[in-house]
Amino acid sequence: MGDELQSPGELVSELRESFRSGKTRSYKWRKTQLKGILRMIVEKETEITDALYVDLSKPKFESFIHEITLAKHSCELTLKELEHWMKPEKVSSILTAFPSSSKIVSEPLGVVLIISAWNFPFLLGIDPVIGAIAAGNAVVLKPSEISPATSSLFARILPSYVDSSCIKIVEGSIPETTRLLEQKWDKILYTGNAIVARIILAAAAKHLTPVVLELGGKCPVVVDSDIDLKAAARRIVVGKWGTNNGQACIAPDYIITTKSFSPKLVDALKITLEKFYGKEPMKSEDLSRVVNSNHFSRLTRLLADEKVSDKVIHGGERDEKQLKIAPTLLLDIPDDSLMMQEEIFGPLLPIITVDNLEESFDLINSKPKPLAAYLFTASKKLKEKFLNSVSAGGMLINDTTIHFTNTNLPFGGVGESGMGSYHGKFSFDAFTHKKAVLHRSFVGEVSARYPPYTPRKQKF
Ligand code: NAD
């Protein structure tokens, strides 16, 4: 089990001592831990996918491609690039300090806290840990209590693959997290909703601790008519229901298209849904369930809102016992409905129609900035307008969600969808202080620099 016998204060003191010993700084230590994590992912793949199945009935193949493969890739990339990332970066020096040299040194921050969410509980836990270790920190991971099988698996297996004097798991819910947040950390990376993010930020402010907040929002999909409709429908459907049945921070939240094109788009979505999940999607093995009864009730409330209840054009079936909701399409729900005001985070997808697609940008901009925004179009002009007028954590043209897998891109939100970013080198940077170092020679003195500032010197 984790470290529940230790108080949070003792835990942080132990980690601080380990960090001060200097061992986490060496390339060798970092490499050994990363290799341990990689070995854990490979050796425990079945246990990991089993835990994800218990927590979410996540289809095994989905767990493999989204959680196992991406975590492995992150680890392999970091192992490959780490030595290079750790090297000080030489930059040009300044004439006024001639002769001198300047460099940026990547320094570990110290002891960092990672608080992760339930929906991709393995990847969202281990991926920031990889970044924190790569940057040479001691680290605590607090997995989500909403995905208890994955949380306890972490606590059971991670300590035997890494140096547990520097890398710890703390399991628990609000009380345990609150006690952790009372401690002084050198960085906190939190993944979850924007309400709790405010609690994290307030706790961090007390110690002036910097944070990365990985939040969510309503990710729009704007669909033009000049597209490969079949491909677009496939990419929307897999991005929505193939990512944990819509319980993903970057899953499409709502579609905007033109009134004239909507019948064709709706048909294509329905055909694709049937192709992917059959005539009886409630029986499909390829859809995760809703995580728990609280979220099931939340989604039921969104559907029961009288402003939307007669707008369902596909799906709508629910089974409370199995926590299942069928992929559901709704057409033209009002903007003041709960469903258009809150992040849906589930298998419901409203389609909003407008006369002209450029109107959609105003609709998107009237809401808090989303974590991702998607556009399907062949028009260069529309694409440029979208890029220039819509603000979002990330953007993807002619597909959904896959930008998340490109580790050359930073992953993070803006405004209400978060602050800071990680993935690939951005994870290393997120847990690193960029220390500015200028090294001077004793030659090259300019007397005008020193008092007294005589009139002669001031003419200089
Ligand atoms: P959650 O309930 O698992 O909570 C996240 C973490 O916050 C957990 O570890 C939990 O223990 C902790 N927590 C909850 N309440 C707390 C409190 N009062 N004080 C301190 N800690 C507390 O996850 P969630 O919030 O339901 O996650 C869903 C949200 O997260 C959605 O908005 C989604 O878009 C977002 N999300 C973002 C990303 C991303 O990478 N940007 C990824 C996944 C989910």
**Phi first, then psi: what are they for 429, rounded to 5°?**
-65, -35
Name the band, by pLDDT with cuts 50, 70 and 90, for residue 3: very low
pLDDT above 70 coverage of the chain, percent? 99
The whole-angstrom separation of Cα 277 and Cα 311 is 22
* pLDDT attached to residue 138: 98
| Dist. CA 116 → ligand 1 center (Å) | 6
pLDDT tens-digit readout, 251-260? 999 999 999 9
Q: Is the pLDDT assigned to residue 1 strictly greater than 50?
A: no
Longest dimension (CA), the chain: 91
Q: Are 327 and 281 in contact (CB under 8 A)?
A: yes
Cα of 327 from ligand 1 centre, angstroms? 23
Closest atom of ligand 1 to 173 CA is: 11
Q: How far apart are CA 76 and CA 178, in angstroms?
A: 34
Interval between CA 118 and ligand 1 midpoint (Å)? 7
Pocket of ligand 1 contains residue 178 by CB under 6 Å: yes
Are 180 and 169 spatial neighbours (Cβ–Cβ below 8 Å)? no
pLDDT in tens, 325-368: 999 999 999 999 999 999 999 999 999 999 999 889 999 999 99
> From the CB of 202, is ligand 1 less than 6 Å away?
no
Check pocket membership of 79 for ligand 1, CB cut-off 6 A.
no
- Output the six-digit token pair for 454: 């005589």
Ligand 1 atom nearest to CA at 115:
9
Residue 399, pLDDT > 60, answer yes
Residues annotated as part of the active site: 214, 249
pLDDT at position 460:
65
Average pLDDT estimate for 9-18: 97
Q: Is the CB of 394 under 6 A from ligand 1?
A: no
pLDDT of 2 over the 50 cut: no
292 within 8 A of 323, measured Cβ to Cβ? yes
Say if residues 354 and 363 touch (Cβ distance below 8 Å).
Answer: yes
Token pair of 98 as six digits: 């001639």
CB of 124 within 6 A of ligand 1: the answer is: yes
CA of 271 to the centre of ligand 1 (A): 34
pLDDT digits (tens, 9 = 90+) for 268-309: 999 999 999 999 999 999 999 999 999 999 999 999 999 999
Query: What pLDDT digit, counting tens, does each position of 312-326 carry?
Result: 999 999 999 999 999
Distance 193 CA to ligand 1 centre (A): 5
Closest ligand 1 atom to the C-alpha of 200? 20
Q: Is 215 in the pocket of ligand 1 (CB under 6 A)?
A: yes
The three state secondary structure string of 384-406 is HHHHHHCCCCEEEECCCCHHHHC
The β-bridge partners of 438 are 102
Pocket test for ligand 1, best of 113, 119, 185 (most atoms within 8 A of CB): 119
Q: Whose CA is nearest to atom 34 of ligand 1?
A: 216
pLDDT at 219 > cutoff 50:
yes
Q: Is 295 in the pocket of ligand 1 (CB under 6 A)?
A: no
For ligand 1, pick from 67, 74, 114, 118 the residue to mutate: most ligand atoms within 8 Å of CB. 118
188 Cα to the center of ligand 1, angstroms = 13
Q: What is the mean pLDDT of residues 366-384?
A: 97
Nearest atom in ligand 1 to the alpha carbon of residue 295 is 26
Ligand 1 atom with the shortest distance to the CA of 120: 43
Å from CA of 134 to ligand 1 middle: 24
Q: Tell me: the pLDDT tens digits for 157-205?
A: 999 999 999 999 999 999 999 999 999 999 999 999 999 999 999 999 9
Question: In the predicted model, what is the mean pLDDT of residues 102-106?
Answer: 98
On the question of pLDDT at 20 being above 80, the answer is: yes
Residue 296 to residue 324: CA distance in whole angstroms: 8
- pLDDT of 455 > 80? The answer is yes
Gap between the Cα atoms of 247 and 397, Å rounded: 21
DSSP, res 415: G
Of residues 412 and 3, more confidently modeled: 412
pLDDT tens digits for range 58-92: 999 999 999 999 999 999 999 999 999 999 999 99
Which pLDDT band holds residue 6 (cuts at 50, 70, 90)? confident
Q: What mean pLDDT is reported for the chain?
A: 96
Q: Is 142 in the pocket of ligand 1 (CB under 6 A)?
A: yes
Residue nearest to atom 3 of ligand 1 (CA): 117
Atom of ligand 1 nearest to the CA of 412: 41
Q: Which residues, including other chains, have CB under 8 Å from residue 279's CB and lie 6 or more apart?
A: none
Count, in order, helices (H) and strands (E) of the chain. Answer: 17, 18
- How many angstroms separate the CA atoms of 230 and 221, rounded? 15
Complex ipTM more than 0.90, yes or no:
yes
> Beta strand pairing status for 89-91 and 100-108?
antiparallel
Q: Give the Å distance between the CA of 211 and the centre of ligand 1.
A: 14
